Amino acid sequence: MSRVSTEKNATPARNRQPLGEHIGYPLYNLFMTKRPARIGLIGYQFMGKAHSNAYRQVGRYFDLPLEVELHTICGRNEAGVARAAQTLGWKHYKTDWREVVNDPEIDIIDVSTPGDSHAEIAIAAAKAGKAVFCEKPLANTLEEAKAMLAAVEEAGVNHALFHNYRKAPAVAMIKRMIDEGQLGTLYHFRAVYLQDWIANPEFPLVWRLQKERAGSGTLGDIGSHILDLGRFLVGELTEVCGTTKTFIKQRPLAGEIGDSLDAKTASGMGEVTVDDATAFLAHFQNGAMGSFEATRFAVGRKNHNRFEINGSRGSVVFNMERMNEFEYYNNEDPEGLRGFRLVQATEGSHPYAGNYWPVGHIIGYEHTFINLIYDALLAWSKGENTNANFYDGVKNQTVLDAIEKSAVERRWLTLDND
């Protein structure tokens, strides 16, 4: 069976980011002087908006080790980024990301652009001594992902990856339950991520449908989310076997692009060069089995990110469209009283929930980004890595890469988890 090499000698996520007086290690000095960390955000569409809101809000709900300042937002379209600076609350705006990365006033760079520019921007930011946040998937290729990890480690700067669904209180609670052994031996991780925003053949050829821009389609965009949740909750994968499908191969060219989920069309047609849907099976290092499906053609499903985990002591079910709750089956409840109960993850004892509102007052999608930024700043202030980080990005990209190879070669592939 063919082996897909992963990061050679990859040691577990470096849990101790050296908090020394590293040249270009900006946050160490900030933690000492308590000057707010100045953010440079590259990208101002959907994720730029979500991240801007999170930076603005995080200090209002969490006791931060370091305040953050919305310093500069950057985008190629001057009218668009100027409007974004105004509406999203940024002090300055630029149209050239290099100016932001090389601005000595900036401490943290947030890469929220399409995947084809993640590597160039993040590597430049690391070399400039900035801490780096990056949207998922980390990169369009495994080689780029490895180069990004090498750059941040070489520069000794902090790094984080916006796998925000790890930060929903219900998901973090499930992680706590698993770590405490409440589900026992894990047998199954079963996940789907179902959307339908391109099921209409008239939807135009936006950047997410072009391989040179996005790297892949559902595999990297939403498949990466459920893969990351599987790794976060169950552990590393050892083998995968996958398939992909492109239902509609030609689409109208995209005209003026708003956010790419609602672009307008122009004249002419272009080729779709990414997958519209993917499904893959996996084995985990701890013996559990995995089944994953991601599609943009599940007509009627909008952001249906759902997983179920079955263990010897019980099972859990989470659905992002009902993100404030999860289902729990305790296999040790009294005989005759067992059943899936609905747990509302809004108690003070649930991760993050107590920082917002009293029990029963729910939170939303945008709060997962706030929670992620808080976790990162807290971990970094203790000289530790946050989760998820660029190491997770390389591990995820290794699996995504293997799935694409498996789909072509139509066979199982083994992952080297050195």
Encoded tokens for 243: 């398939």
Cα–Cα distance, 391 to 148 (Å, whole number): 9
For ligand SOE, give the closer residue by CB, 170 or 222: 222
For ligand SOE, give the closer residue by CB, 46 or 207: 46
For ligand SOE, give the closer residue by CB, 238 or 273: 273
For ligand SOE, give the closer residue by CB, 40 or 115: 115
Min dist. Cβ of residue 10 to ligand SOE (A): 25
Encoded tokens for 240: 């995968």
CB closest to ligand SOE, residue no = 221
For ligand SOE, give the closer residue by CB, 107 or 221: 221
Min dist. Cβ of residue 194 to ligand SOE (A): 11
Encoded tokens for 196: 């339908």
Min dist. Cβ of residue 364 to ligand SOE (A): 13
Q: Which helix (H) or strand (E) holds 97?
A: helix 97-101
Cα–Cα distance, 326 to 87 (Å, whole number): 35
Encoded tokens for 399: 């699996």
Min dist. Cβ of residue 361 to ligand SOE (A): 23
Give the binding site for ligand SOE (CB under 6 A).
46, 195, 221-222, 303
For ligand SOE, give the closer residue by CB, 141 or 195: 195
Token pair 């989470």: residue: 318
Cα–Cα distance, 165 to 307 (Å, whole number): 12
For ligand SOE, give the closer residue by CB, 130 or 163: 163
- The distance of Cα 327 from the centroid of its chain, to the nearest Å, equals 23
Residues in the chain: 418
- Cα dihedral sign for 346, 349, 353, 357? positive
Min dist. Cβ of residue 303 to ligand SOE (A): 6
For ligand SOE, give the closer residue by CB, 158 or 195: 195
For ligand SOE, give the closer residue by CB, 17 or 397: 397
Min dist. Cβ of residue 49 to ligand SOE (A): 11
- Crossing angle of helices 46-61 and 78-88, in 10° steps, is 20
Helix, strand, or coil (residue 144): helix
Cα–Cα distance, 282 to 260 (Å, whole number): 31
**Vertex 247: Cα angle to 245 and 251 (nearest 5):** 125
Q: Are strands 314-319 and 325-330 parallel, antiparallel or unpaired?
A: antiparallel
Min dist. Cβ of residue 293 to ligand SOE (A): 14
Cα–Cα distance, 329 to 123 (Å, whole number): 45
Min dist. Cβ of residue 158 to ligand SOE (A): 22
Any residues with CB less than 8 A from the CB of 104 and at least 6 apart, and which? none
For ligand SOE, give the closer residue by CB, 246 or 303: 303
Cα–Cα distance, 294 to 217 (Å, whole number): 10
Min dist. Cβ of residue 163 to ligand SOE (A): 9
Comparing CA positions, the residue from 5, 39, 17, 40 lying closest to residue 149 is 17
Cα–Cα distance, 48 to 46 (Å, whole number): 6
For ligand SOE, give the closer residue by CB, 84 or 320: 320
Classify the phi-psi angles of 155: left when phi > 0, otherwise alpha if psi is within -120 to 50, otherwise beta.
alpha
Cα–Cα distance, 32 to 28 (Å, whole number): 6
Min dist. Cβ of residue 208 to ligand SOE (A): 7
Min dist. Cβ of residue 136 to ligand SOE (A): 6
